[in-house]
Structure 1
Amino acid sequence: MGVLITQDGTEIFYKDWGAKDAQPIVFHHGWPLSADDWDSQMLFFLGEGYRVIAHDRRGHGRSTQTDIGNEMNTYAADVAELAAALDLRNAIHVGHSTGGGEVAHYVARAEPGRVAKAVLIGAVPPVMVKSEANPGGLPKEVFDGLRAALAANRAQFYRDLPSGPFYGFNRAGTQVSQGVIDNWWRQGMMGGAKAHYDCIKAFSETDFTADLKLIEVPVLVMHGTDDQIVPIADSALLAHPLLKHGTLKTYDGFPHGMCTTHADVINPDLLAFFRI
């Protein structure tokens, strides 16, 4: 593990496992989690001979609990600084949820040679919030409700989300894992309330349409059809056509947190895309 100090003095915590001459995979976590959300993938791909890297976004996990810079331009700039500091080349960038937006924003601007491929999993692009230009989006009131719940009782809010829609544990017949719920809560409570509050605006209102159109590398878009957090109809199904070299793979009945609940399916599918 290590710590990058960015130009504005923010400390970005990151894990960097594996041979430094192996092809790097960089994992970008969702809101309000941390690099730990990728443990299953990190171990799997380390075992496949890759160099695996995951960072805690500013304001999240073990990184500085910033009160500024909690928006996509700065998130992507932090990734660019990390890629330069570690001299990452020919890297594969994998982003889940908010991390998918971060990947799109970074990859569209990355220095030549830095990125080989990208993956968006249950990702927020092209844009989540409802507007005249995006009539199928979620009303702004939904995100106002998230902010209100966070401000009122963040600890309880961070119990309710993983216990219910995030992993689909509110669906009949689903096997509930208390350990997964507790781990989500642990990661969320490590981060800063102000950064998490601001990040809701970043993941819901940022329009990634231009980013998706600019990306030149192959992109795999993966999404569960029962994603209750980022509905597939207003995300993956709209993002995929905007990509020059995009592949869409959907998963019937899988939830938003499918990288955790269905790692046995997701990891081999990622590996197959990486090896193409």
Structure 2
Amino acid sequence: MGFVTTRDGTEIFYKDWGHGQPIVFSHGWPLSSDDWDPQLMYFLDHGFRVVAHDRRGHGRSAQVPDGHDMDHYADDLASVVTHLDLRDAIHVGHSTGGGEVIRFLARHGQDRAAKAVLISAVPPLMVRTDSNPGGVPKTVFDDFQTQTAHRRSSFFREVAAGPFYGFNREGATPDEAVIQNWWRQGMTGSAKAHYDGVVAFSQTDFTEDLKKVTLPVLVMHGDDDQVVPYANAGPRSAELLPNGTLKTYEGFPHGMITTQADVINADLLAFARG
């Protein structure tokens, strides 16, 4: 574990465990690298070097007031990759982290990367526009910002206990420890970073980025994702990627890397070794 200082002076926290081919994990909003614990331990046990960082304003990284946009997120990831001299890396991004991975590869090149994985990821574009009629209405994201600014603690609890893991579905059994861990990660970060981050994950158009990424990319998405709706995300990203493959998970929620970690990890391992 350590910190790297970016070009604009921001301290980014990272974990770097093990040896072998590196797998680099980029987390979702408003969490931290801790959200990848089930994957970090699994792939460490399977002989990989695992790396995960806390996005600026999240987790243990510096709570800077600015730079909460996809270009800075991508540049911060590049700082970690360069600092650790990672090569032949597999980049895995969940939710907002999927956007970060795609922007990083399109912006900084693919020379150090071998493959990529997008899990429940925000590309190509979340918000509804004239050219993206299947997107989510902007009023939904405006409300995310209002809730984050004025009642963040309660709002984060509601997201974790409800749509993020599908605990609001009939017959679901909420896992209190999982809910509290989500809340803990979120509240460790900066309200300003989370507020600005809503715009970053919802309004960034990754269409051209996806077209530029030519390495093999596995797109994994649950069809019961209530946070990043399936139809406008996973299938469309896979279509735009020159070498993309879509894997759909029936009934899986947005946070499937936690609640269905056994399934997701096995499929990630097969792709990594394939």
Name 2:101's counterpart in structure 1: 103
Residue in 2 that maps onto 1:76: 74
Query: Residue 184 of structure 2 aligns to a residue in which SS?
Result: helix
Q: Give 3-state SS (helix, strand or coil) of 1:233's partner.
A: coil
User: Is contact 2:110-2:215 (8 Å) kept?
Assistant: no
Q: What do the CA deviations read for 1:174-214 (whole angstroms, capped 9, x no partner)? A: 12100000000000000000010000000000000000000
Counterpart-to-counterpart distance in 2, 1:100 and 1:28: 7
Partner of 1:244: 242
- Percent sequence identity over aligned pairs: 63
Q: What is the CA RMSD across the aligned residues, in angstroms?
A: 0.7
Q: In 1, Cα distance between the equivalents of 2:119 and 2:105?
A: 15
User: Which of 182, 204, 207 is residue 206 of structure 1 equivalent to?
Assistant: 204
Q: Determine whether 1:17 maps to 2:7.
A: no
Alignment match, 2:54: 56
In structure 2, what is the equivalent of residue 271 of structure 1? Answer: 269
Q: Could you state the TM-score of these two structures normalised by the residue count of structure 1?
A: 0.98
Unaligned runs of 5+ in 1: none
1:106-158 deviation digits (Å, cap 9, x = unpaired):
11233453110000000000000000010000111000000011111101011
C-alpha separation in 2, matches of 1:192 and 1:112: 31
Matches within 5 A, 1:185-204: 185-204=183-202
Unaligned runs of 5+ in 2: none
User: Tell me, what secondary structure is at the counterpart of 1:40?
Assistant: helix
- What is the distance in 2 between the residues matched to 1:234 and 1:56? 27
Q: Is the 2:27–2:95 Cα contact (8 Å) retained in structure 1? A: yes
Return the letter of the residue paired with 1:16. D
- Whole-angstrom CA distance in 1 between matches of 2:85 and 2:223: 37
Match of 2:167 in 1: 169
**Partner of 1:234: helix, strand, or coil?**
coil
Q: How far, CA to CA, are the matches of 1:17 and 1:74 in structure 2?
A: 25
User: Do the aligned partners of 2:164 and 2:226 also contact (CA within 8 Å) in 1?
Assistant: yes
Amino acid at match of 2:39: Q
Instruction: Give the letter for the 2:81 counterpart.
Output: A
Q: Per-residue displacement from partner, 1:11-32 (whole Å, max 9, x unpaired)?
A: 100000002xx11000000000
Q: Report Cα offsets for 1:199-243 as digits up to 9, x if no partner.
A: 000000000000000001000000000000000011111111001
Q: Any idea what SS the aligned residue of 1:203 has?
A: helix
Map of 1:221 onto structure 2: 219
| Matched letter for residue 53 of structure 1 | V
3-state SS in 2 of match to 1:125 = coil
Compare 112-121 and 123-132 and name the one that shifted more. Answer: 112-121
Is residue 94 of structure 1 aligned with residue 92 of structure 2?
A: yes
Letter in 2 for 1:5: T
After the TM superposition, which residues 247-258 of structure 1 pair with which residues of structure 2 at under 5 Å, given as runs?
Answer: 247-258=245-256
Q: In structure 1, what is the Cα distance between the partners aligned to 2:256 and 2:29? A: 15
Partners of 2:220 and 2:246 within 8 A in 1: yes
Distance 1:160 1:112, change over 3 A: closer
CA distance in 2, matches of 1:73, 1:204: 14
CA apart distance, 1:9: 1.1
Structure 1 residues 219, 149: CA separation in 2 closer, same or farther (over 3 Å shift)? same
Counterpart contact for 2:31–2:58, Cα < 8 Å: yes
- How many residues matched? 274
Secondary structure (helix, strand or coil) at the match of 1:108 reads helix
State the TM-score, normalized to the length of structure 2.
Answer: 0.99
Query: 1:53-109 deviations in whole A, cap 9, x for unaligned?
Result: 000000100001111000000110111111111000010000000000000001123
